[in-house]
Amino acid sequence: MDEKTRIRPVPLGRVLSYLAWPDRAACTRRLDRACRSLFNARLQNGSVWNCRCNRGSDEVIHQSTSRKLDQNMSRRHSTKYKIDRRVGENIWGRPKSPVNKRPNKPGQHGPNRRGKVSDYGLQLMAKQKLKFYYGDITEKQFRRTFDEASRRKGNTAELLIGLLESRLDAFVYRSKFVPTIFAARQFVNHGHVLVNGVKTNIGSYRLKPGDTVQIREKSRNMALVLEALGSPERDIPEYVEVDPKSMTATYIRMPELSDVPYPVQMEPAQVVEYYSS
């Protein structure tokens, strides 16, 4: 194809400006050409755009299936041990955390960052640390959990911890079926867990006292599960009753802050102050 007949990419703003044209036929031709140009441009960048021109209502719908959608998905993009260095503490208590050898913050100027932290900074770090501990959950999920805790009667800080511990992925992690909270979420998403005999693959599923969580029979011989159950790295708390032979765990009650075996000090009261301000 020569240079004269090649379709050049058209900016999206110019595409939208075509909608204001009074001539409907000319508008339709311009939109078709613009959609083809956008498709070719995105195809060269390694992504695909599905463009559809609705000529009846003069709307252009661009449904992107490119890499931009991956950035909005609920997943962790950074290395989990970088979270430890960012917080400055070994929040999961892992022996191979880099904070054990390099306690300074990450980056070129990490060792020289010694500024005074404001009250807002302390509240923000308390909130981020709690989010990171439960697998770096999204702000939307965390805020929804806080709103639920604030609606209930009682201490909001204690209820927030109880609701976070009621998550299915957190319960699987507490039961020592997997070594990390990130592995717990993936373990649940892959369908290896039964809740009261029903397959459940939603990590944010909220358990109730008395619910039973069991590993599927086909997944009980996984090396990940066997190594986690035999590891002396963590202890099972009192509100979780585990039967290692049948690989079944029972959620006895909603815990309080003093019942949860955090490796570092968590401050849910600072989180309440953060959202209340």
Per-residue model confidence as pLDDT tens digits over 114-148: 678 889 999 999 999 999 999 889 999 999 999 99
Q: Where in the chain is the domain with CATH 3.10.290.10?
A: 167-253
- pLDDT, residue 32, reads 67
CATH number of the domain at 167-253, please? 3.10.290.10
First to last CA, the chain: 61
Among the CATH numbers 1.10.1050.10, 1.20.58.220, 1.10.287.610, 2.40.40.20, which is that of 80-154? 1.10.1050.10
| Predicted confidence (pLDDT) per residue in 58-98, tens digit | 333 333 333 443 444 455 555 777 777 777 787 787 877 77
Q: Where in the chain is the domain with CATH 1.10.1050.10?
A: 80-154
